[in-house]
Amino acid sequence: MRNITVIGTGYVGLVSGSCFAEVGNRVICCDVDERKINMLQSGVVPIYEPGLEDMVARNKEQGRLHFTTDVGAAIEASDIVYIAVGTPMSETGEADMRYVMSAAKKIGEHLNGYKIIVNKSTVPVGTGELVREVVQANKMAPWATFDVVSNPEFLREGSALSDCMNMDRAVVGSDNPEAASAIAELHAPFNTRVFMTDLESAEMIKYAANTFLATKISFINAIANICERVGANVSDVAEGMGMDSRIGGKFLQAGIGYGGSCFPKDTYALAHIADKSGYEFELLKSVIRTNQKQRMLVVDKLREAIGSLAGKRIAVLGLAFKPNTDDMREAPSLTIVPELLRAGASIRAYDPIAAEAASRLLSDEVMYADSVEAAVVGCDACVILTEWSDVVGMSLAQVRTLLAKPIIIDGRNCFSLDEMEREGFVYHSIGRRP
């Protein structure tokens, strides 16, 4: 059992803090955002993540998980301090390091003995060193010592708890073997492989992993676009490719491109890091461009299917960047819905969880329905943007009778071509010619 403080109660901080508490550590999660901490103290989790509210409640009740806005006191109370603050994309595409640096300054000011400072935020290579300098420069207690470790996070939104409790691997980077071992030991209850390396390589692993996954997605989307032109079926192509264990079948689902708070930000950031280092990462720049273009495909396909969009009623199913989250960051819907409105269509949207978050970002002209059926009724066509289970599981027979015209443009390849033909739909998907 260790005393761990986690600075930042965003996605990563809250999930990792809760999981460390779940396996028996005493964890203090702190944040300067009073509203968030008040919510957490009263048992309300500010983000939607299946299972998280129960895990937070259980660990709070058993006295292992605490929340506070007093960041200084939280730092003083633990010998392991995780930095899990946001690194949003700045205007130049670089990671904005403001919050990481202010956390490091705070740690320096409250360093009251030996501490291991662990960076979990996704940060440019060299940040560990920078954190070391900032802590050292702000140290109030001359006798206090510390080590810096990088322990990047690999969890996915929507399956964060199982990703965290059953992680593929933990990466621990440090120049101090004892500090690295202490952080490696924290992962023993998760029954996972721990890969130990130096600080810079650990920081690079996170970017390399995320941008490689983004590359897989853009690659299969490019293949999908060719499949459409030559009459191949991208689902079969991906399955056949993925059977080669050197390639692997995961992250080969063609669609309208990747969104979310990580891939878009991290691809831009690594392209920037590469430029700054004197190497032009042309491949990654193409990955980004391919992803941007992919979003508009559903609008093109819709126009092909129904002609001008002016005055047409369109049902949009799914708004979140992927299922099981209310996260709207970089969601393809934020580009697609405004484009449909600009073209003169009226929109009735359905998203089981993200509708409220979406309504704050989309035009007031968008109407919202509380079920798939209510969204599609009387519409000239239906567009699928997120593969929520109630979208994938919708009654096709019922939807066909409710739609004014049985037209579905599926940006996530939720249904088989045979099934849609049997059900009598005009069905356009990605990389599969009807």
Using CB under 6 A as the criterion, which residues of the chain lie in contact with ligand UGA when the complex forms?
122, 153-157, 210, 213, 217, 251-253, 255, 258-260, 262-263, 321-322
Q: Can you tell me the distance from the alpha carbon of 123 to that of 83, in angstroms, rounded to the nearest whole number?
A: 11
Smallest distance, ligand UGA to C-beta of residue 335, A = 12
Inter-residue contact 368 to 359 (CB < 8 Å): yes
Catalytic positions: 262
Query: What is the SS3 assignment for 266?
Result: helix
Smallest distance, ligand UGA to C-beta of residue 67, A = 22
Q: Can you tell me the distance from the alpha carbon of 367 to that of 378, in angstroms, rounded to the nearest whole number?
A: 14
Q: Which is nearer to ligand UGA, 146 or 321 (CB)?
A: 321
DSSP of 344-408: T-EEEEE-TTTHHHHHTTS-TT-EE-SSHHHHHTT-SEEEE-S--HHHHTS-HHHHHHHSSS-EE
Smallest distance, ligand UGA to C-beta of residue 140, A = 33
Q: Which is nearer to ligand UGA, 255 or 431 (CB)?
A: 255
DSSP of 101-129: HHHHHHHHHT--S-EEEEE-S---TTHHH
Q: Which is nearer to ligand UGA, 135 or 224 (CB)?
A: 224
Smallest distance, ligand UGA to C-beta of residue 55, A = 18
Smallest distance, ligand UGA to C-beta of residue 308, A = 29
Q: Can you tell me the distance from the alpha carbon of 13 to that of 6, in angstroms, rounded to the nearest whole number?
A: 6
DSSP strand E in 291-345: where? 313-317
Smallest distance, ligand UGA to C-beta of residue 45, A = 17
Which element (helix H / strand E) includes 83? strand 80-83
| Angle at which helices 263-277 and 199-230 cross, to 10° | 110
Q: Which is nearer to ligand UGA, 111 or 299 (CB)?
A: 299
Smallest distance, ligand UGA to C-beta of residue 262, A = 3
Q: Which is nearer to ligand UGA, 75 or 149 (CB)?
A: 149
Q: Which is nearer to ligand UGA, 260 or 352 (CB)?
A: 260
CA distances (Å), origin 244, targets 9, 226, 433? 40, 21, 25
DSSP of 190-255: GT-EEEEE-HHHHHHHHHHHHHHHHHHHHHHHHHHHHHHHHT-BHHHHHHHHHTSTTT-STT---S
Q: CB count, 10 Å around CB of 64?
A: 18
Q: Which is nearer to ligand UGA, 111 or 317 (CB)?
A: 317
